[in-house]
């Protein structure tokens, strides 16, 4: 079965990567690409005006809209998809709690699949973290993420997901974002460090140290292609599901 997708944020780094990845797949057809800077072509696909999204969804009837934009657009497009009966897959980060509430509202009408990171390696890292944290009870934990110099939100969405995983594994811990001056470490705090440099696609390290040993669990994305492939796997998986909230881990089961 071929799944038809629309791509929102089509002229952005991830939007372009998604369209490029779709061009190599037989199971996905890009029926629509939108951006707030229309007129360009990405991999031969014409990019149309995102302001026309409601009408475009009605006319092109994609099965799924894949969104990599910004928080405001993500919330707006989720509601537009809910109205149009189109499944919504998003990897947009930097959403507030209210933003996630809005996505959950859309999930009452259509399938919504959200992931702060669509790489399989991060899914495996999350499993490793959930196992390591209780096994190394009392060890200090520090989390470091490194991204390209154009990333807007910090810490990354993936870092926030990993922090939630750590909280689930050992109870809620205070988060300390960087340290400066007199800053003695509290026993349970998690130091969170966000680095921005060059064109690094995305790196995350969870460091556990204590008892004269340290364990570093690290993931490095070599290109945006890994995120794009995962998002398209998610789109293919969610296309014919019932309305509801879905997680990327379900796609990998
Ligand atoms: N979940 C995952 O696996 C991944 C998530 N991301 C996230 O995806 C998002 C996009 O990342 P990039 O492609 O690097 O950013 P980008 O800045 O290159 O592209 C974003 C695109 O969205 C559009 N956009 C932003 N706000 C908009 C608005 N209010 N209305 C209409 N269009 C709007 C921009 O014009 C641009 O075309 C970020 O939140 C990033 O953190 C990025 C990589 C992987
Ligand atoms: O903005 C990015 O580039 C990335 N954003 C996501 C995040 O915030 O975790 C995922 C990935 O690390 C790349």
Q: Name all residues whose Cβ lies below 6 A of ligand 2.
A: 93, 116-117, 147, 151, 156-158, 202
Predicted confidence (pLDDT) at residue 150 exceeds the cutoff of 90: yes
State the pLDDT at residue 21: 98
Q: What is the rounded CA–CA span in Å between residue 246 and residue 241?
A: 9
Question: Which of the four pLDDT bands, split at 50, 70 and 90, describes residue 29?
Answer: very high
Catalytic one among 41, 151, 177, 219? 151
The percentage of the chain sitting over the pLDDT mark of 70, rounded to a whole number, equals 100
Distances (CA, A) of 129 to 85, 120, 176, 209, 220: 37, 14, 19, 13, 15
pTM: 0.98
Ligand number, closest to the Cα atom of 157: 2
ipTM reported for the complex, 2 dp: 0.99
Which of ligand 2's atoms lies nearest the C-alpha of 156? 8
Q: Is 151 known to be catalytic?
A: yes
| 23-33 burial code (b ≥16 CB/10 A, e <16) | eeeeebebbbb
Render pLDDT for 86-115 as a digit per residue (tens, 0 to 9): 999 999 999 999 999 999 999 999 999 999
Retrieve residue 245's tokens: 């909230």
Question: Which of the four pLDDT bands, split at 50, 70 and 90, describes residue 1?
Answer: confident
Domain positions in the chain: 3-118+224-252, 120-221
Render pLDDT for 218-246 as a digit per residue (tens, 0 to 9): 999 999 999 999 999 999 999 999 999 99
Render pLDDT for 164-200 as a digit per residue (tens, 0 to 9): 999 999 999 999 999 999 999 999 999 999 999 999 9
CATH class, domain 120-221, is alpha beta
Q: Which residue in 8, 104, 114, 16 sits closest to 52, CA to CA?
A: 8
φ and ψ of 86, to 5 deg: -110, 130
How far is the centre of ligand 1, averaged over its atoms, from the C-alpha of 68 (Å)? 4
Q: Annotated binding site: which residue ranges?
A: 9-14, 91-93, 115-118, 148, 157-158
Please give the average per-residue pLDDT across 39-47, as a whole number: 95
Average predicted confidence (pLDDT) for the chain: 98
Which of ligand 2's atoms lies nearest the C-alpha of 151? 1
How far is the centre of ligand 2, averaged over its atoms, from the C-alpha of 237 (Å)? 22
In this predicted model, which residue has the larger pLDDT, 149 or 1?
A: 149
Q: Is 147 known to be catalytic?
A: yes
CATH of domain 3-118+224-252: 3.40.50.720
Q: Annotated binding site for NAD(+): which residue ranges?
A: 9-14, 91-93, 115-118
């Amino acid at each position: 079965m071929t799944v038809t997708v629309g791509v929102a944020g089509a002229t952005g780094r991830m939007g372009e990567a998604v369209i490029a990845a779709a061009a190599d797949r037989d199971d996905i057809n890009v029926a629509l690409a939108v951006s707030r800077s229309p007129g360009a072509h990405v991999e031969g696909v014409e990019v149309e005006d995102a302001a026309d999204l409601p009408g475009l969804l009605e006319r092109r009837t994609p099965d799924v809209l894949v969104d990599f934009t910004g928080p405001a657009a993500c919330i707006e497009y989720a509601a537009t998809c809910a109205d149009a009966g189109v499944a919504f897959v998003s990897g947009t980060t930097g959403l507030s709690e209210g933003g996630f509430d809005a996505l959950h509202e859309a999930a009452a009408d259509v399938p919504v699949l959200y992931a702060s990171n669509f790489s399989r390696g991060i899914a495996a890292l999350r499993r490793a973290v959930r196992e390591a944290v209780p096994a190394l009870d009392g060890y200090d934990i520090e989390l470091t993420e490194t991204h390209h110099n154009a990333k807007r939100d910090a810490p990354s969405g993936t870092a926030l997901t990993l922090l939630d995983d750590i909280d689930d594994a050992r109870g809620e811990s205070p988060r300390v974002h960087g340290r400066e001056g007199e800053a003695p470490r509290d026993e349970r705090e998690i130091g969170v460090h966000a680095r921005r440099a060059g064109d690094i696609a995305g790196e995350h390290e969870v460091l556990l140290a204590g008892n004269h040993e340290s364990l570093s669990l690290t993931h490095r994305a070599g290109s945006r292609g890994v995120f794009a492939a995962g998002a398209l796997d998610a789109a293919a998986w969610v296309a014919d599901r019932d309305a509801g909230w879905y997680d990327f881990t379900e796609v990998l089961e």
